Amino acid sequence: MLDIRYIRENPQKAQELLNLRSNSQEYDLVPILELDQQQKELESTRTELQRRSNEIGKLVPQKIKQGENVDQLKQEGNKIKQEINDLEPKEKELKTSIEQLLLTLPNFPSNSTPVGKDEQENVEIKRWGDEFIKSQQVLPHWEIGEKLGILEFEKAVKVAKSRFVALFGAGAALERALISLMLDRHIAAGYTEVMPPILINSESMQGTGQLPKFAAEGFNCPQDDLWLAPTAEVPVTNLYRDEILDLAQLPIYHCAYTPCFRREAGSHGKDTRGLIRLHQFNKIELVKIVSPQTSEKEHQKLLQDAEAILQILKLPYRVIELCTGDLGFGAAKCYDIEVYLPNAGKYREISSCSNFGDFQARRANIRYKESGQKGTNYVHTLNGSGLAVGRTMAAILENYQQIDGKVQVPEALQPYLKREFL
């Protein structure tokens, strides 16, 4: 959530920053500024009424001591108290309205985020593993998976609906091996593993920015006010909601495996086959809670930690820095890692590594306190996929496909799978 004080004091600059985003026409600050002005006027009125009420409270006993009639003063005091009582719900209503509007606004882009209108103006900053790219034509991952008997889409449709998959034999083992490899590597890099709840409440979804904007993307259990986790970012970050941390506790690094659930609203006709865009998928998430002073450095390290998995698996990829027009709702700065899929001859997103600044921390009320200091400050939150497991499997099935139809198991995974080929 954006800081209302910044918007109040820098309305033109705030509007300019929001205008750098796609769909910028949605983000009009005028209604918020008008409500904020009304709230300030009410607050000023209440402050003046309270001052007069306090003054009367002191005058009454003085007048009584002097033998003067205080009936008029008491009447005025009672009237003022009633006016103050009448103002409180109006102030509360205005505050709620302002907060609801603020919740719909995206984060400001960071100063170092490239300015651009859409994904066409994203900036490629790195490629890795060009020497591993296959020159020969290979089958798409869903075809080789079905031929090997390890992916079943039709049976999954029978059990659920389209955009679900069932894994069999070596397919299930490969998914499990990837999860174990990723967690082992991230734990070795200093992350503490968390296994969070997968059903999460609306307050948590609001805390990390999924609500109210992305309600249509989520699977909801309205009877219990619970949502199926769209990503482990949500439950893991919200483990610290409404907490004041000591600066000495920072940085906090967590990694978590969870199944993730998304409706993929608005993606009709996109990636309808295969493992790229499913309603249910497994993912390892990296979450950092850090001080503002180390935020940028921690973001670069987060990106490296996610890249390391692709390097271990020897899967070619590139890193894209998203421009202002393509940033996710809560991100101030974001790098996408895209793995190469040889059948399509394209790079496809496998991780987004985002720095949210204090955007999520304001929504979830996560603060820190320095020893010896009076006040508190908001932490910065960061997260990224480390990695999306199904997309990693798709990349392995295509990049490690052999001429005879088998798929070689990446060397790093062989100790987990106890086999060299699928």
One pLDDT digit (tens) per residue for the chain, 422 residues: 999 999 999 999 999 999 999 876 789 999 999 999 999 999 999 999 999 999 999 999 998 888 889 889 989 999 999 999 999 999 999 999 999 999 999 999 999 999 999 999 999 999 999 999 988 889 999 999 999 999 999 999 999 999 999 999 999 999 999 999 999 999 999 999 999 999 999 999 999 999 999 999 999 999 999 999 999 999 999 999 999 999 999 999 999 999 999 998 666 667 779 999 999 999 999 999 999 999 999 999 999 999 999 999 999 999 999 999 999 999 999 999 999 999 999 999 999 999 999 999 999 999 999 988 899 999 999 999 999 999 999 999 999 999 999 999 999 999 999 999 99
Answer yes or no: 24 catalytic. Answer: no
- Residues near 114 by beta carbon (within 8 Å), at least 6 away in sequence: 121, 122, 123, 321, 322, 323, 324
Query: pTM of this prediction?
Result: 0.94
Residue 24 pLDDT: 67
351 and 388 Cβ atoms separated by less than 8 Å: yes
Is 363 annotated as catalytic? Answer: no
In the chain, ranges of CATH 1.10.287.40 domains? 4-102
Distance, CA of 279 to CA of 293 (rounded, Å):
38
Which one from 163, 321, 391, 398 is the annotated catalytic residue? 391
Q: What angle do CA 405, 349, 320 make, to 5 degrees?
A: 130
Catalytic residue, from 21, 185, 262, 348: name it: 262
pLDDT at 269: 63
Q: Find out whether 338 and 368 touch, Cβ atoms under 8 Å.
A: no
Q: Which two tokens stand for residue 104?
A: 């719909």
The tokens for 139 are 């089958």
* Cα–Cα distance measured from residue 150 to residue 83, given in angstroms and rounded to the nearest whole number: 72
**The CATH fold of domain 4-102:** Helix Hairpins (1.10.287)
Which one is catalytic: 176, 241, 277, 318? Answer: 277
User: Distance from CA of residue 7 to its chain's centroid?
Assistant: 22
SS3 category, 318:
strand
Kindly name the residue from 53, 176, 349, 419 that is annotated as catalytic. Answer: 349
Nearest to 363 by CA among 175, 15, 99, 84: 99
352 catalytic residue (yes or no): yes
Would you state the structure tokens that stand for residue 45, as one six-digit string? 């009125």
pLDDT (0 to 100) of residue 265: 66
Q: What is the pLDDT, as a whole number, of residue 271?
A: 74
Catalytic annotation present for 349: yes
Please answer whether residues 363 and 330 qualify as being in contact, where contact means their C-beta atoms are separated by less than 8 angstroms: no
Active-site annotation holds for 5: no
CATH 3.30.930.10 occupies which residues in the chain? 119-417
CATH architecture classification, 119-417? 2-Layer Sandwich (3.30)
Residue 101 has a pLDDT of 96
Q: What is the pLDDT of residue 272?
A: 76
Burial code of 130-157, b = ≥16 C-beta within 10 A, e = fewer?
Answer: eeeeeeeebbbbbbbbbebebbbbeebe
Catalytic residue among 352, 363, 385, 398: 352
